[in-house]
Amino acid sequence: MTKDRNDNLHLIISTPLYCCISLLCLSLEFLITSFFIRVIFYIFKNNCSLQITYKVKFIFYDFMGFALMTILNSIVQYYLATLLATNIKNKKHLYIIIAASTFVAALFFIKLAAKTGFNSYILASVPLIIAYFLGGVMGINEDKEKNPWKGTKYQIFKY
């Protein structure tokens, strides 16, 4: 098998695998964030008057929810992309995988958040999508010596 064919095989296999792992992580982040926001709202509701609590509820859901999701997502994407970069050396393929995954995750998150209490609208998910992409790009461009996965036996993107 030639090097070009091997690189294309990595691209074909790694793109859906990276997307699936990212979507699973995004779903877990979403559940963690939803639980955290509800706990904070419950604590706030018991310590403040009921009228103030419901005025602030949407601020908690929108601002805190999306902020926490953005932070968690950029960290997760950084670590996933550094793991991906340890196995695939072609930068062009790495960028294609990250871009495809960002597009799929954006569609998934917009659909997921629209059915929940985050009161999501498309513009509100833009920071999350940007953080997703930037976390992946930073992971791809990480110095090989500083890669957190350097020398690990967990090589899920190696074929």
pLDDT band per the 50, 70, 90 thresholds, residue 1: very low
pLDDT band per the 50, 70, 90 thresholds, residue 99: very high
Whether the per-residue pLDDT at 104 is higher than 80: the answer is yes
**Whole-number pLDDT of residue 53:** 58
Helix (H) or strand (E) segment spanning residue 139:
helix 126-140
Q: Which residues contact 17 (CB under 8 A, 6 or more apart)?
A: 156, 157
Distance from CA of residue 25 to its chain's centroid? 7
Single-letter amino acid, residue 136: G
